[in-house]
Structure 1
Amino acid sequence: MQIDARGMRFEVTVGGPEHGEPLLLLHGFPQHSGEWNDVLPTLHAGGLRSYALDQRGYSPGARPAAVEAYRLAELVADAVAVLDALGVDAAHVVGHDWGAVVGWALAAGHPDRVRTLTAVSVPHPAAMAYALAEDPQQKARSAYMMLFRRQGVAEKTLLALNAGGLRRLLRGVGDAARTAAYVEPMREPGALTAALNWYRAMSRTDLAAVGPVTVPTTFVWSDRDPAIGRAAAEACAGQVRGDYRFVELAGVGHWIPDQVPTPLAETILARVRSTA
């Protein structure tokens, strides 16, 4: 369906039992709501009503030009406005990659709207800040962000030679068809720039403003994630004041929803059911 909110039009894929508990799914870069496709059948069978959102910059009707329009507070406000438009007072929230960052900030700033949080791959911003300051390996893992923040240069680098840079970035996500399903939308005019603007609008001030989370939370991390190391992952526990679970997946890369959808879905269901 299409949701009109905050003067924009967002694409939302809806599924599962009509009266099931609501679940808001937030994707990461450079993907879209399709990254949840293999996770959803198990969640639906578990009785959840899913709302997979194509976030700001990814929904063609929600693609403002200004970099500052992609600051974290705007992304969180989008999620709140979509929940309002759906008539959902509070949802279980699942986010992967940048979607996890939005999920952390949503849970910290609007705990009344979040029943539970399952954050996948990317830890709480404060945990990430700690690792960047204390762990040289994490600093090296995050060096790619410097390229992503360079306007024009990043687009050229990622889209050159039939989007070879994007395809390399997505290595491990799946077969050629799955990779193409993520790459092709990013080749549409303005799409990659909008997605990269999340990185360009990112600031230490905004990330530092994300406080501790009090809702029941699970953080899912994979030990072969090239972007997030163990120091950041394990520091996450210190940023949750509510019930907390840390799930480590062995031998899995960054693209957890694509690589191990069933174990992830079972982890999400376990978190949701922990509050029953």
Structure 2
Amino acid sequence: MPAIKHRTVETNGIHLHLSEAGEGPLVLLLHGWPESGYSWRHQLPALAAAGYHAVAPDVRGYGRSDKPGAVEAYSMKNLLADYTGLLDALGEKTAVVVGHDWGAAMAWNSAALHPERYRAVVGMSVPHLGRTPMPPTQLFKHIFGEKWFYILYFQEPGVAEAELEADIPRTMRTILAGVPGFDTTSDVVRARKRGDRFLTGLDAPRTLPSWLTEDDLAYVVKELEGSGFRGGLNRYRNMDRDWEELPELATVKIEQPALFIIGEKDPARAMAPVDLMKPLVPNLQEVLVIPGAGHWVQQERAAEVNAALLDFLKKLPA
């Protein structure tokens, strides 16, 4: 399989570290929380072997990319500008954009707000739901009331960082291989009360699932020991700012060809109904639910995700 190469490029006033492979039409792969471009390690060589230039940046705040200090540096507008600037730095007018988790939101919004730069879009785990009827934190407070909810817990700078960084190997083992604190379908998470934390009541499993090796986990841990969690958490702290800055998301439609992939057991299915996406993405060609898969779908079921991606890409207009 084609080798994965690494380099750093300047875009939008910061430096992004890239993992990339292959030559051909550009496929931009955007990761979610709390990961890095390493989460696309199975897709990069497969896309390259099929004749594409696959590029997976470490999103600002993660891995070996720059980590600005200000909370507002992680607004959606800034992140989207990173990627249009990256296309410019790579000498490309257009790309297919693919995203997972927060990367999915970035991918959907990139396609919605910069349609001239993105000829197709693939989202994984998180559907495109446009703009909420009120600022997101107000909506979450309305829905959850006095109950604990991880996005509200993440809002106060420094609090979640202190918890998650206290023992990063345990944190990542729990999030990737156990029950993560964002799983609102879990009885442990649902039973939480104010004052509880993201890892309260959760155990780090001794045995890893077959899709995650000890070496994989060690790589992710090393990256987060270098970057910390602040940049990734600041993404959550911009949700109300995004709501104010991007009112056009209430009405704009994604007209490009689109694909949505989600694991059958992904807790995101309970939080974000896929059917709400369909009017906003009229050219949604398929909703692929992968049986037995959880949230980390492109890692858990790499072969199936790769096959779906390549089939989607092959059908796109030249």
* TM > 0.5 fold call: yes
Q: 2:88 maps to what in 1?
A: 84
Of 145, 148, 172, the residue aligned with 1:166 is: 172
Q: What are structure 2's unaligned runs of at least 5 residues? A: 1-6, 178-208
- Does structure 2 conserve the Cα–Cα contact (< 8 Å) formed by 1:15 and 1:49? yes
Q: Tell me if 1:258 matches 2:299.
A: yes
Mapped partners of 2:18, 2:217: distance in 1: 21
Change (3 A) 1:126 1:186: same
Give the Cα separation in 1 of the matches to 2:105 and 2:95: 16
Alignment size in residue pairs: 271
What are structure 1's unaligned runs of at least 5 residues?
none
Rg comparison, structure with higher value: 2
Q: Which has the higher contact order (CA 8 A, sep 6+)?
A: 1
Residue 216 (str. 1) matches residue 285 (str. 2): no
Give secondary structure in 2 for the equivalent of 1:81.
helix
> Deviation per CA, 1:193-245, whole angstroms, max 9, x where unpaired?
11111111122435654332111000111121123327522322121022432
Percent of matched pairs sharing the same residue: 31
Tell me if structure 2 keeps the 8 A contact 1:125–1:208: no
Match of 1:181 in 2: 219
Q: Distance in 2 between matches of 1:197 and 1:139?
A: 21
SS at match of 1:263: helix
Give the match for residue 193 of structure 1: 230
Moved over 3 A (4+): 127-130, 132-135, 138-142, 204-209
Structure 1 pair 97–47 and aligned structure 2 pair: CA distance change class (3 A): same
Partner residue in 2 for 1:155: 161
RMSD over equivalenced CA pairs, Å = 2.8
Give the direction of change, closer, same or farther, for the CA distance of 1:125–1:180 in structure 2 (3 Å limit).
farther
Deviation (angstroms), 1:182: 1.7
CA shift digits 1:160-204 (9 cap, x unpaired): 24542333112266233222222221122x531111111111224
Amino acid in structure 2 at the alignment position of 1:197: N
Counterpart amino acid of residue 170 in structure 1:
L
- Could you say if the C-alpha distance between residues 217 and 127 of structure 1 is closer, same or farther in structure 2, counting changes exceeding 3 Å? farther
Name the SS of the counterpart of 1:239 in structure 2.
Answer: coil
Q: Structure 1 CA distance, aligned partners of 2:256 and 2:248?
A: 17
Q: Which amino acid aligns with 1:251?
A: G
Match of residue 239 from structure 1: 280
Aligned partners of 2:170 and 2:247: how far apart in 1? Answer: 34
Q: Does 1:205 align with 2:205?
A: no
* Structure that is richer in helix per residue: 1
Greater Cα offset, 265-274 or 82-91: 265-274
